Amino acid sequence: MTAASALDLSVSFAGVQLRNPIIAASGTFGYGVEFEDVVNLGKLGGFVVKGLSREPMIGNPPPRLWETAAGMLNAIGLQNIGARAFLEEKLPRLRQIKDTVVITNVFGYTREDYENTIQILNEGEGIAAYELNVSCPNTEHGGLQFGMDPRSLDEVVTTAKRVARRPLIVKLSPNVTSITQMAYVAQESGADALSLINTFTAMAIDPETRKPRIANVTAGLSGPAIKPIAVRMVYDAAQAVKIPVIGMGGISTPADVIEFMLAGATAVQIGTASYWDPCATEKIVDGLENWCHDHRITRIRDFVGGMVME
């Protein structure tokens, strides 16, 4: 057997099998179909579609993006076509892509929003898992994000788990004092897996005009600038829970993927890198294969949690 045929990049979490650990991150890969002309979707482990809500949303006014040193600010405002239109207009095409896992990201402003959106998505065929975006203001409790308050997090995860007919991935916000506590709360409330991190709340001002760079004033920071903090948070979360952890935050090279896996991630997501190079996800899959061959690695899952101390 040649070295190439001996390489096993497959990983699995919560009963979801992936041909490799590379997943395109929510909000940076449209509904997948938009990337068909530039990325061979069949090469990816999977992708997470744009955050879906019960009703369509138009998002925030422009400007919504601003590039920073080694990062990007965004305040898209969770623009999306709504869960029902996703099932009717996008999912039939996505189901034709064989063996690439489709995960739907879900958000809401009340527990009922999450519940209703998941109930709609339950009717669709070919969705592998739900990823719960808890970085939204909880309007039932005065606007503090679900993901910043342990009690709100418990409530929304418990609600989602009760209705979800598919594995539930809870996507944690990094804007917390203790990621360990939030990871543990999500697990105890029924999460089948965790994904982290979402963006950091941040902002930038133009000194010439004195105006905020982003119309919404505050925005989410992503990209290589956040990577070391993301690695630390993935490491802390993976130590705190028994369920699998999916890592992300600034990944742009195969070596970054290995770094997150060593910190405890079973799989990874690639977000902002697709803005700088739309082919980034596929290139990272190819690069990962080469990296493993060069390092005589035959089974990538052996890296998970494999950081050595001495």
Provide the residue count of the chain: 310
Binding test (CB under 6 A) with ligand FMN, winner from 28, 116, 152, 281: 28
* Per CB under 6 A, 223 contacts ligand FMN: yes
CA dist 135 and 287 (Å) reads 32
CB of 210 to ligand FMN, least distance (A): 25
By beta-carbon proximity to ligand FMN, the closer residue of 222 and 266 is 222
* Per CB under 6 A, 199 contacts ligand FMN: yes
Q: Give the CA count within 13 Å in the CB-facing half-sphere of 129.
A: 28
Catalytic residue, chosen from 52, 106, 136, 176, is: 136
CA dist 237 and 70 (Å) reads 25
CA dist 194 and 247 (Å) reads 9
* Per CB under 6 A, 32 contacts ligand FMN: no
Known catalytic membership, residue 279 = no
Binding test (CB under 6 A) with ligand FMN, winner from 16, 25, 170, 214: 25
Considering only residues 74 through 133, tell me which ones interact with ligand FMN, judged by CB under 6 A: 74, 76, 78, 105, 133
CB of 302 to ligand FMN, least distance (A): 24
Query: How many DSSP H helices and E strands does the chain contain?
Result: 10, 14
CA dist 3 and 50 (Å) reads 37
Q: Are 23 and 267 in contact (CB under 8 A)?
A: yes
Residues 270-289 as x/- pattern, contact with ligand FMN by CB under 6 A: xxxx----------------
Helix (H) or strand (E) holding 270: strand 267-270
* Contact window for ligand FMN (CB under 6 A) among 19-27, 38-46, 177-185, 294-302: 19-27
CB of 96 to ligand FMN, least distance (A): 24
Q: Are 119 and 54 in contact (CB under 8 A)?
A: no
Q: CA quadruple 216, 217, 219, 225: dihedral positive or negative?
A: positive
* Per CB under 6 A, 161 contacts ligand FMN: no
* Contact window for ligand FMN (CB under 6 A) among 185-193, 221-229, 285-293, 296-304: 221-229
Catalytic positions, written as ranges: 136
